[in-house]
């Protein structure tokens, strides 16, 4: 495998663009191929079996595109399909998920402290964050809450307004969260409301955004394995399994710049 080969990144939709953005900023010489499975969004309310089937299909496409490494930029897919994808891709492409780098970070920085987690139903019900944290620190104290309204709220553009403030305070008013020191944003859409969440806590609780942490982890992995590209060969590509103009309009919000989405026929 050539170091100039691209890095694949996938998500159920465009939330994973927050991770792609952090990777692009940190590693501008890497060519990215992004796949948003907008035809099957949201993953957060799907069964693990359905998420696994979609994830295998997308991984296949990214391997065929020559990706040297694949980042699962979705907590729901990371919790339901990571082990399966690792086995499936074997030596063809290394798979990185968004949960392990966050677990490493939290167990290092917040050991002995109570930590909150918000995410989709799939991510929370899988209990994966707690299992992984406990394997690093048997005393880990994680309090989890599914917050399914946040993804549609963000996609509909309700941010920094009364609706978003009301929904956020309804969720974060959860009694068990009263002593948390930090809050894991366990969904790749949530970086867009990170400041609103920190405002809710008046800066007393740190909201932990996985995009920067995953980009730093990826950078270290590429360096350690001599897989870094020196110069970007070709443009980044952004595929979606279903195209609508409204998805494209949202990309600026998630990626920080306007990008062109190309439709990829997933099942043909
Ligand atoms: N991006 C997904 C995640 O991180 C949330 C959106 C969805 O439910 O598909 O879990």
Fold of 100-210: Rossmann fold (3.40.50)
The closest-lying atom of ligand 1 relative to the alpha carbon of residue 46 is 8
Protein residues whose CB sits closer than 6 Å to any atom of ligand 1: 11-13, 15-16, 41-44, 74-76, 120, 123, 151, 187-189
**pLDDT tens-place string over residues 9-19:** 999 999 999 99
At 266, the pLDDT band (50, 70, 90 cuts) reads: confident
**pLDDT tens-place string over residues 30-70:** 999 999 999 999 999 999 999 999 999 999 999 999 999 99
- Out of 7, 99, 184, 187, pick the active-site residue: 187
What phi and psi, each to the nearest 5 degrees, are found at residue 141?
-120, 105
Mean pLDDT of 134-163: 95
pLDDT above 70: percentage of residues in the chain: 99
User: Is 80 exceeded by the pLDDT of residue 186?
Assistant: yes
Instruction: Specify whether 67 is catalytic.
Output: no
- Out of 9, 67, 72, 74, pick the active-site residue: 74
Domain locations in the chain?
Answer: 7-97+212-263, 100-210
pTM of the predicted protein model: 0.95
Q: Return the half-sphere exposure (C-beta side, CA atoms, 13 A cut-off) of residue 114.
A: 8
> For domain 7-97+212-263, is the CATH number 3.40.640.10?
no
User: Is 80 exceeded by the pLDDT of residue 1?
Assistant: no
Query: Whose CA is closest to 186, among 15, 10, 35, 9?
Result: 15
Reduced to 3 states (helix: H, G, I; strand: E, B; else coil), residue 115 is strand
Say what the pLDDT of residue 233 is. 87
As a whole number of angstroms, the distance between CA 159 and CA 104 comes to: 30
**Total residue count of the chain as it appears in this document:** 268
Residue 203 CB neighbour total at 10 angstroms: 8
How far away, in angstroms, is 231 Cα from ligand 1 center?
31
As a whole number of angstroms, the distance between CA 190 and CA 11 comes to: 14
Say whether 100-210 and 7-97+212-263 share the same fold. Answer: yes
How far away, in angstroms, is 230 Cα from ligand 1 center?
32
User: Is 70 exceeded by the pLDDT of residue 158?
Assistant: yes
The chain-wide mean pLDDT, for the chain, equals 95
């Amino acid at each position: 495998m050539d170091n100039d080969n691209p890095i694949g990144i996938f998500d159920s939709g465009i939330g994973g663009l927050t991770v792609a953005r952090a990777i692009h900023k940190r590693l501008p010489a890497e060519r990215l191929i992004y796949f948003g499975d907008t035809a099957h969004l949201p993953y957060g309310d799907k069964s693990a079996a359905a998420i696994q089937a979609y994830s295998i299909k997308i991984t296949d496409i990214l391997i065929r595109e020559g990706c040297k490494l694949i980042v699962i930029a979705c907590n729901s897919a990371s919790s339901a399909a990571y082990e399966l994808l690792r086995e499936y891709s074997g030596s063809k492409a290394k798979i990185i998920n968004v949960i392990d780098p966050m677990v490493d970070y939290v167990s290092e920085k917040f050991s002995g402290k109570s930590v909150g987690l918000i995410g989709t139903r799939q991510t929370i019900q899988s209990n994966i964050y707690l299992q992984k944290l406990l394997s690093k620190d048997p005393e880990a104290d994680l309090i989890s809450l599914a917050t399914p309204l946040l993804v549609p709220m963000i996609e509909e553009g309700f941010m920094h307004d009364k609706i978003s403030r009301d929904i956020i305070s309804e969720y974060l008013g959860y009694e068990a969260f009263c002593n948390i020191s930090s809050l894991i944003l366990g969904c790749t859409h949530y970086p867009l409301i990170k400041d609103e969440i920190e405002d809710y806590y008046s800066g007393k609780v740190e909201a932990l955004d996985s995009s920067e942490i995953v980009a730093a982890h990826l950078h270290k992995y590429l360096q350690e394995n001599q897989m870094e590209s020196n110069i970007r060969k070709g443009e980044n590509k952004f595929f979606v399994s279903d195209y609508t103009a409204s998805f494209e309009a949202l990309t600026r919000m998630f990626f920080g710049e306007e990008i062109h989405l190309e439709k990829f026929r997933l099942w043909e």
